Every structure is written in C-alpha cells, then in structure tokens.
Amino acid sequence: MAARRFLSDLAAIFPSDRLLTERAQLIPYESDALTAFRALPRAVVLPESQDEVIETVQLCYRASIPFVARGSGTSLSGGALPDEDGVVIALNRLNRIIRVDAEHRLAVVEAGVSNLAVSKAAAPYGLYYVPDPSSQSICTIGGNVAFNSGGAHCLKYGMTSNHVLGIKVVLPHGDIVEMGGESLEGVGPDLVGLFVGSEGLFGIALEITLRLLPVPESYRTVLAAYSSMKDAGDTVATVVASGLLPGAIEIMDNLTIQAVEQSFDAGYPTDAAALLIVELEGEANQVEQEFVELEKIINNSAAYSVRSARDDIERSQIWKGRKGAFGALGAITQAYIVQDGVVPRTQLGAVLSEIDELSVQYGLRVANVFHAGDGNLHPNVLYDGSQEGMLERAEQLAGEITKLCVRHGGVITGEHGVGMEKRDYMREMFAEVDLEMMQRLSRAIDPRGIANVGKMFPGQGVPGV
C-alpha cells in the first residue's frame, strides 16, 4: 500500500513518459559502468527542472525511500548503483549552461551538463574547464563533483575540487543550501571541499559554479617508447625532479598499446613495453624553454623512439589513443575491472612489478594505463565473464592490487570513488574510529540514511546485491 501511494505521489510530479516503472524501462539504470553490481530500482524519474528534483527528494524523505542521483552512468565504482526499494533521479535533462562569465572566468551550470560541453561553451572567450576525465564527452559535472574526478591534466591543475567555486545543493531532507560562491577566496568552513567527493551521501548538486582558465597559448606533446615499464617510470621521476611541471604525464603498457592500435590506429609503436606521453602547456616562450629541457631528459633516458607532435592534428591523434584506452580494451577482452589506486611516484616501479607478479599468480592479464605524474594507477584486470568463477577471481586480484597500493604508502582511489567496489577496503586505510566519525557526519546530514544508501562504508548492504 505504501509503495503504491509513493508511486502515486511521484506521478503527481512527473508525467508517465518521465516516470519509469516497467522492468524494460528500468534495466538501463540497473548499474553504472561497473556492471558487476546490478539492482533494479523501484522507479526512475527524469526531472527537467531543479524544482522537480527538490520535490522528489522531499517526497523520498517523507516516505523514507532511498534515492540515488545519476548522470551518464560512467562511474567505475558502482557509485550510481540503485537500491531495489529506492528511486533513481536521472539528471541528464538538467543540462542548462546558465551563464559563462568571461570577465570573472567562471561558468554556472546545472548538474546534467557534460564535462566537455563546458569547455565548448567557454571556447569563444578563450577559456576552458580543466578537469578532463577519459569520459569527458559524456560524463556530467554533477557526477564529477560527486566523485572528485580528475583526468590526464590533474598533475598540474588539480582535481574537480580545485575548480568548483560554489554549489547549490538539495540536502537529503529536502532543504536547499548554497555552498561557496563566485570568489576564489572562500569565507568560513570549506563546505564545497566537504561536498565534492562525498559520492551522493550528502545530497544532490543542482547547480555548480566552475572556475575557468585561459586556453593555453602553446602545447608541446612528446611520445616516447621504452623497452620496460621501469625505464618509463624512471623517466617520470627524472622529469618531475628536474622542476618541470607538465600539464600531463601518462604511461601505457604493451597490452594497452595493442588494444588502442586495434581500435584507433593512433600510430603507437606496438613493440614498446611502455609508452610515455608528456605534455607541456602554457605561454609560448615558457613552453619552448621547457621543451628544450624536456627533450634533453627524454633523449638521455632509455627511450628507443621519441616523437614530438608537430601540430594540433598529431597532438589530437596521440591523445585520441590515450583517451580511448579504456574502451579499446574491449577489443582484446570479454570483460575487465578498472582499479585506480594511487601510490607515491617513488613506488611506481615496485608496485608495477608486484602487479605483474600478482597477474601471473592469478592467471589473469592486467593492462596498465595511468596518470604517472601523480602516481594514479589504472590497472585493468582482464577476464572472461562467461567462465564460471572468473569474475570472483578478477575481483580478488583487483582487491589485492588495492591493498598493495596502501601498503606502499598510497590510497585506494584517486578519482573513481569508493562506491560499492572499494567500500570493504576502507579499513585498509582507516581505523574504526575514523570510519565511525565519517558515518556520524553522514548521519548528521542524512539522519534517515536515504541518500545513496549502502555506498562507501564497509559492512553495509544494498538490497538485491
């Protein structure tokens, strides 16, 4: 009876074509990009205004019904997994770029705006939005905020949290709060910093004020091939130790190279054990001076092949392969699990060697592609999901890699979030008193425990999972 009444109340907010309750309609929302976790929600709503989101959250609070906000479903941690008793609030139709303020270098956007759309809107003013996840053409700003997304250029410019000035939020009990503002200088507690990366546990971002930066005047992009991952990793350490601060430093192993070349024909040398991409960006004079130093370092390294992009077309081709690496892995495997632990740069070689050993031990291939500049690894555990027990085996290996990162002084996630996938590894990083303090804060903001229930904290269950 209560369930029927709740759906009836939803129907008073949403017309039938924006209130989905049939199984066939719900299946596309049963998981995010981590398809190992699946659950069909009670309903999915497609709001077209902020007011409809607010009304839905208030209704959920009154009825104590769980809800989860969802953008494009590109989360790789199960962060947008529904609750079987709950509602998915799909935000893709909240896609207005409210304004671009070129003078103050900011943009105000709704949560469903795609990452890349912000830069396109800012381009006529010579500005762009820096964080650039691999899924930037489809991932939404709301999702980026929830998981504090990064991207290839986070080494120099930082994560999403470094580019969000203000957020309009509907809290789990339906109240509206404004955090931050339009200034780079915050006043009082850093509530924006608290909310960014909270993975939907603190409510739903409706409207976000983003910091924009001038488009770099010049780029220099270098592609270097190595006979071992260690040699590539040593070069990263040398580049950083030199005092250079590239916009991006990326590494791919041979398995990833093979996949990329099958899918994109990016022109990568397929015999390389590792490829290093280093990109300088900024004012032309500065970039040219830094490029001289970078060339010396690369040429004095163990690289057996070095190529510099001569123009924007060649630069785009190099980055097309890197940006498409995750999708390209589908050409060489039936399924895979993506990890994103972080380790100190000094530990890259040791950790990669141990990952190789674990790969042999488990009999599963691991493709490595990662943000080398800040030690953000992306080991992809490849497996055949049609074989019984292989998913569980892959998950075990992925878990060992997660623990390995912590043992080497790192953390369990750099940008994908904890979600469902890594919640049971939170104890590898945090003491029970730390976890209890986090949950006390979560309960203070969401006393009924309805916002993205079951995520982040170990020992919590999600019905149907």
In total, the chain counts a number of residues equal to 465
Query: What is the DSSP code string of 62-93?
Result: HHT--EEEESSS--SSSTTPPPTTSEEEE-TT
Tokens 């949403």 identify what position? 14
Between 81-95, 209-223, 339-353, 396-410, the lowest mean confidence (pLDDT) is in 339-353
Taking alpha carbons only, the member of 202, 177, 174 closest to residue 188 is 177
User: Does residue 185 register a pLDDT over 90?
Assistant: no
User: Does residue 78 register a pLDDT over 60?
Assistant: yes
β-partners of residue 248 are 279
CB 276 within 8 A of CB 268: no
Please give the pLDDT value at position 463: 43
Please give the pLDDT value at position 35: 87
Q: What span, in angstroms and rounded, lies between the C-alpha atoms of 254 and 352?
A: 13
As a whole number, mean pLDDT of residues 38-47 equals: 97
User: Does residue 342 register a pLDDT over 70?
Assistant: yes
Q: What span, in angstroms and rounded, lies between the C-alpha atoms of 81 and 2?
A: 23
Domains of the chain with CATH codes: 2-90 (3.30.43.10), 97-214 (3.30.465.10), 218-327 (3.30.70.2190), 333-424 (3.30.70.2740)
User: Does residue 197 register a pLDDT over 70?
Assistant: yes
As a whole number, mean pLDDT of residues 52-72 equals: 97
Write down the H helix ranges in 27-91.
50-63
Q: What span, in angstroms and rounded, lies between the C-alpha atoms of 158 and 139?
A: 18
Tokens representing residue 281 in the block? 């960006």
User: Does residue 245 register a pLDDT over 60?
Assistant: yes
Q: Cα–Cα distances in Å, from 371 out to 131, 246, 297?
A: 13, 12, 19
User: Does residue 464 register a pLDDT over 50?
Assistant: no
Taking alpha carbons only, the member of 356, 401, 403 closest to residue 255 is 356
Write down the H helix ranges in 220-311.
229-241, 254-264, 284-299
Q: Of all residues in the chain, what percent carry a pLDDT higher than 70?
A: 98
Residues in CB range of 292: below 8 A, 6 or more apart: none
Q: What span, in angstroms and rounded, lies between the C-alpha atoms of 129 and 141?
A: 11
Please give the pLDDT value at position 311: 92
CB 454 within 8 A of CB 461: yes
Please give the pLDDT value at position 94: 98
CA 438 vs. chain centroid, Å, equals 22
First to last CA, the chain: 24
CA 275 vs. chain centroid, Å, equals 22
Q: Of all residues in the chain, what percent carry a pLDDT higher than 90?
A: 85
Read off the pLDDT of residues 251-268 as tens digits, 9 standing for 90 and up.
999 999 999 999 888 889
Q: Tell me how many helices (H) and strands (E) the chain has.
A: 16, 18
Please give the pLDDT value at position 460: 63
Read off the pLDDT of residues 442-459 as tens digits, 9 standing for 90 and up.
999 999 999 999 999 997
Mean pLDDT, all residues of the chain: 94
Read off the pLDDT of residues 382-417 as tens digits, 9 standing for 90 and up.
999 889 999 999 999 999 999 999 999 999 999 999
Read off the pLDDT of residues 81-118 as tens digits, 9 standing for 90 and up.
999 999 999 999 999 999 999 999 999 999 999 999 99
Q: What span, in angstroms and rounded, lies between the C-alpha atoms of 440 and 420?
A: 19
What sign has the CA pseudo-torsion 173, 176, 177, 178? positive
CB 446 within 8 A of CB 196: no
User: Does residue 184 register a pLDDT over 60?
Assistant: yes
Please give the pLDDT value at position 91: 98
Element holding 6 (H helix, E strand): helix 2-11
CB 59 within 8 A of CB 9: yes
Element holding 99 (H helix, E strand): strand 97-101
CA 227 vs. chain centroid, Å, equals 30
Q: What span, in angstroms and rounded, lies between the C-alpha atoms of 426 and 352?
A: 22
CB 330 within 8 A of CB 383: no
Please state the pTM of the whole predicted model.
0.93
Read off the pLDDT of residues 358-380 as tens digits, 9 standing for 90 and up.
999 999 999 999 998 889 999 99
Q: What span, in angstroms and rounded, lies between the C-alpha atoms of 115 and 361?
A: 39
CA 102 vs. chain centroid, Å, equals 27
Tokens representing residue 284 in the block? 């032309």
Q: What span, in angstroms and rounded, lies between the C-alpha atoms of 307 and 318?
A: 10
CB 405 within 8 A of CB 293: no
Please give the pLDDT value at position 461: 55
